[in-house]
Structure 1
Amino acid sequence: MKSIYRIFTACALALTGGTACIPAQAADAYPNHPVRLIVTSAPGSGLDLVARAIAPDMGKKLKQSFVVENKAGAAGIPGTREIVASAPDGYTLGLVSSNHAINPSMHPDLPYDTVKDITAITLIGAVPLVLAVPANSPYKTVQDLIGAARAHPDKINFGSAGLGSALDVAGLMLEKMARIKFMHIPYRGGNPLMTDLMSGQVATAFLAVSTAEAQIKAGTIRALAVSSARRIPSLPAVPTLAESGVAGYHYAAWIGLIGPAKLPAHVAGLLQKTVHEVIALPDVRQQFAVQGFDPSGTSSAEFLETLEREIASTRELMGKH
């Protein structure tokens, strides 16, 4: 009995420290039937594409099907509610996005606790954003845009995919760090935003690289900067916001794997280890590259640290809306 206790204690400690420990007997028992992988957004979204990129190889490695189910709408709240209400046995998991950290600021009556009601398994990676303007915009650089916004506070319109979206948060960060103020126009999703940006009805917007790249290369919109800490391979000529004079700016929309609270340490550890192996596969990395997705893979502790930090910073930003 003592040896079993020591194994599970060691595994719990290893998981929080970032190293998965999986007792042989426990690992063999899971999974023994298909696993539901709930995606808290619509089919075809960035979140959905990541889920469908990793699910087949997770199934191969664990010898059970990982069945992707889309539970879209309401900023991912219904899908997350289903994940946290499920049995903590590893057979219902979910992919969540940065909205998971934003929702507490937008919805104080959430039907779950964003941190306490989940098991944070691993951050899978991040989607860098690009600050773009119409192709015929007079703003050629980030400093052109900032200068105009300072000269005309609340006059230059900034579009986002909705109030409280990751694109909105990226804009609020830019306002705070550059000491400017846009006129915010929230859209119902990224497609109408892109349409109005291309036509010039919106002066500027942050967009996911996967959404914007084709239009940038086609010349229908112009990229001013990317939001990530370093330049991205698919747009090597586009500087970062930090390089463009907004010192310290760094933001990306992340995607993470979660389960309900109290998921056994050996199950969470096995899932974490498997995800890290899958996102290192060349074919998966190729799929990610097409989407502009930057894979990482973190420990549970690192995921929780990111989540708690972004909940706090988003609350501060949203207070300025």
Structure 2
Amino acid sequence: MTQSTERLEMIRVDVRDVDSLSAVSNAFSAGSSRCGIYVLHFAGGYEYVGQAQDVLARFRTHVRSWSHPVVALDFAPVPVEELNETERRVIQAKERAGVRLRNSALVGLPMGDAAVDVHVTRAEQERWLDGVTPDIDVSGRCTQADGRDRSGKNFTALALRPYYDVLLDILAAYVRHVLPAPESTEKTFWYVSAMPSTGRTSTWQRVAAITVNNVETLVIGETTENGRVFLDGFLNVAPGLRLPSTLNVELVEYRTVGQVQTIRAEAAFLEFAVYHPLVRDAARTTAMGLLRKGTSMMGRYHCVPLADDIFRRIHREELAR
């Protein structure tokens, strides 16, 4: 069946009680365009508007990423050069109609052009969201770090911690597998801080945090308990995204963006979790939405020598592959 959304004719594919992937695949005849605007319909009445150059690949990602089942997909073929404007028009029409959209502050990919598109093309963003992890060459970024000043009270204190090498593994795993083109977007769109004072207590303090746009997405802390020190922390992803049921997940309210899903665990487990497809997809979707919101207002807190060491660790891991 077809329906009109702001004069755009969309084909409806019902995916309830069937193999959803097969249903969507069968809706496209050989040679038909898969580039266009789509609307996901969720059980419970929410919708999500997006654009894709290959809607089948994007739908596969959505099926495994959202916690609420998708019951229908609307799609209209649109030329690639018209995707941004058409996406904007459909979202605005949905909002005027009072539709409950999942294009939320954290997970939504803002309509139209975004500043990050200069560094990561929309096609590259789509492949990233579809789970593709391309090779990365950060050798130039590492060369820039050679001979750089490594002074600074916070970084010096952190680098002397006995767990610093382990911390670098955790941070490097997140930067490599969650943030697209991290060497091109650091400081402007995301930053890493050393020994931030936020939330410090007598038994716990942040030792490093990665912030995308203006939202903390990964925080590693140091807990002192009975004279023993160990690393733990949390990973924030958008609400409504599917996560493994075995994780310790809670809903936390942030003043600026509302609710987030917070995964709390020992720091080493957070590194392991980033490699789990569900966690990786949720983290990537969240980070991409935040990157598309625009640049960070807090880039002055970026700890350059810590970032240098993170990129050196990524480079070492890439050479060892």
TM more than 0.5: no
Looking at secondary structure, tell me which structure has more strand per residue: 2
TM-score by length of 2: 0.29
Looking at secondary structure, tell me which structure has more helix per residue: 1
TM-score by length of 1: 0.29
